A and B are shown apart, each in its own frame.
Chain A
Amino acid sequence: MGQERFISIEGIARRFPAGGGGALTVFENLWLQIKQGEFVCMVGHSGCGKTTVLNILAGLDKPDGGAVIVDGKVISGPSLDRAVIFQSHALLPWRTVTGNIAFAVTSRWPSWSRERVRAQAQRCVDLVSLTGAEGKKPAELSGGMKQRVGIARALSIEPKILLMDEPFSALDALTRGSLQDEVRRICRATGQTVFMITHDVDEAIYLADRIVLMTNGPEARIAEIVENPLPPERDRETVHREPLYYPVRNHLIEFLISRSRALKDDARFLARDPRRPQIVRPNGAETRPQPSGRAVRMQSSLT
Chain B
Amino acid sequence: MTAPLGLRAAIVSLTVFGVFIAVWQLGTQGSGIAADMTPEYAKLVGATASQGVSAMPGPGEVGAKLLEHFADPFYDRGSNDKGLGIQLAFSLGRVLLGYALAVLVAIPVGFLIGMSPLMSRALDPFIQILKPISPLAWMPLALYTIKDSSLSAIFVIFICSLWPMLINTAFGVAAVRREWLNVARTLEVSPLRKAFTVILPAAAPTILTGMRISVGIAWLVIVAAEMLVGGTGIGYFVWNEWNNLSITNVIVAILVIGLVGMVLDQMLARLTRLVTYSE
Residues of A within 8 A of B (CB): 58-60, 77-80, 82-84, 86, 88, 90, 92-94, 103-104, 107-108, 137-139, 157
Known: A86-B183, A88-B179. A93 touches B188 (CB 8 A): no
Q: With A and B bound together, what is the CA distance between A94 and B276 in angstroms?
A: 8
Q: Is B187 an interface residue (CB 8 A)?
A: yes
**B187 and A86 contact, CB distance less than 8 A:** no
Chain A residue numbers with a CB within 8 Å of B202 are 92, 94
Q: With A and B bound together, what is the CA distance between A107 and B194 in angstroms?
A: 10
Q: With A and B bound together, what is the CA distance between A33 and B142 in angstroms?
A: 68
**A157 and B185 contact, CB distance less than 8 A:** no
Interface of A is mostly: loop
**B187 and A157 contact, CB distance less than 8 A:** yes
Chain B CB count within 10 A is highest, among A59, A79, A107, for A107
Q: With A and B bound together, what is the CA distance between A78 and B183 in angstroms?
A: 10
Chain A residue numbers with a CB within 8 Å of B187 are 78, 80, 103-104, 107-108, 157
Identify which of A59, A94, A138 contacts B186 (C-beta below 8 A). A59
Chain B residue numbers with a CB within 8 Å of A157 are 187
**B201 and A94 contact, CB distance less than 8 A:** yes
For chain B, residues 182 to 228, give those with C-beta under 8 angstroms from any C-beta of chain A: 182-183, 185-189, 197-198, 201-202
**A93 and B179 contact, CB distance less than 8 A:** no
Q: With A and B bound together, what is the CA distance between A78 and B182 in angstroms?
A: 9
**B188 and A92 contact, CB distance less than 8 A:** no
Chain A residue numbers with a CB within 8 Å of B244 are none
Identify which of B180, B185, B186, B275 contacts A92 (C-beta below 8 A). B180
For chain B, residues 141 to 189, give those with C-beta under 8 angstroms from any C-beta of chain A: 177, 179-180, 182-183, 185-189
**B278 and A78 contact, CB distance less than 8 A:** no
**A92 and B279 contact, CB distance less than 8 A:** no
Chain A residue numbers with a CB within 8 Å of B185 are 59-60, 77-78
Residues of B within 8 A of A (CB): 177, 179-180, 182-183, 185-189, 197-198, 201-202, 275, 277-279
**A58 and B186 contact, CB distance less than 8 A:** yes
Known: A90-B179, A93-B277, A138-B279. A60 touches B201 (CB 8 A): no
**A107 and B182 contact, CB distance less than 8 A:** no
Q: With A and B bound together, what is the CA distance between A78 and B185 in angstroms?
A: 6
Q: With A and B bound together, what is the CA distance between A92 and B193 in angstroms?
A: 14
A142 to chain B, nearest CB (A): 14
A136 to chain B, nearest CB (A): 12
**B279 and A139 contact, CB distance less than 8 A:** yes
Among residues of A, the one whose C-beta sits closest to the C-beta of B183 is A90
B275 to chain A, nearest CB (A): 8
A67 to chain B, nearest CB (A): 19
A-B contact pairs, 26 of them (CB 8 A): A60-B185, A78-B187, A78-B188, A79-B186, A80-B187, A80-B188, A82-B186, A84-B182, A84-B183, A86-B179, A86-B183, A88-B179, A90-B179, A92-B198, A93-B278, A93-B279, A94-B202, A94-B275, A103-B197, A104-B187, A107-B189, A108-B187, A137-B277, A137-B278, A139-B278, A139-B279
**A107 and B188 contact, CB distance less than 8 A:** yes
Among residues of A, the one whose C-beta sits closest to the C-beta of B188 is A80
Known: A82-B186, A92-B202, A94-B277. 11 other contacts (CB 8 A): A78-B186, A84-B183, A86-B182, A90-B177, A90-B180, A92-B183, A92-B201, A93-B279, A94-B201, A103-B187, A103-B197
Q: With A and B bound together, what is the CA distance between A104 and B197 in angstroms?
A: 11
Q: With A and B bound together, what is the CA distance between A82 and B197 in angstroms?
A: 21
Chain B residue numbers with a CB within 8 Å of A103 are 187, 197
Q: With A and B bound together, what is the CA distance between A103 and B193 in angstroms?
A: 11
Q: With A and B bound together, what is the CA distance between A60 and B275 in angstroms?
A: 29
Among residues of B, the one whose C-beta sits closest to the C-beta of A84 is B186
Q: With A and B bound together, what is the CA distance between A103 and B278 in angstroms?
A: 19
Among residues of B, the one whose C-beta sits closest to the C-beta of A139 is B278
Q: With A and B bound together, what is the CA distance between A108 and B187 in angstroms?
A: 7
Known: A93-B279, A94-B201, A137-B277. A79 touches B182 (CB 8 A): no
Q: With A and B bound together, what is the CA distance between A93 and B202 in angstroms?
A: 8
B19 to chain A, nearest CB (A): 44
**B277 and A139 contact, CB distance less than 8 A:** yes
Among residues of A, the one whose C-beta sits closest to the C-beta of B179 is A90
B28 to chain A, nearest CB (A): 53
Among residues of B, the one whose C-beta sits closest to the C-beta of A138 is B279
Chain B residue numbers with a CB within 8 Å of A80 are 186-188
Chain A residue numbers with a CB within 8 Å of B179 are 86, 88, 90
Among residues of A, the one whose C-beta sits closest to the C-beta of B187 is A107
**B188 and A79 contact, CB distance less than 8 A:** yes
Chain A residue numbers with a CB within 8 Å of B277 are 93-94, 137, 139
Chain B residue numbers with a CB within 8 Å of A108 are 187
Known: A137-B277, A139-B277, A139-B278. A90 touches B182 (CB 8 A): yes
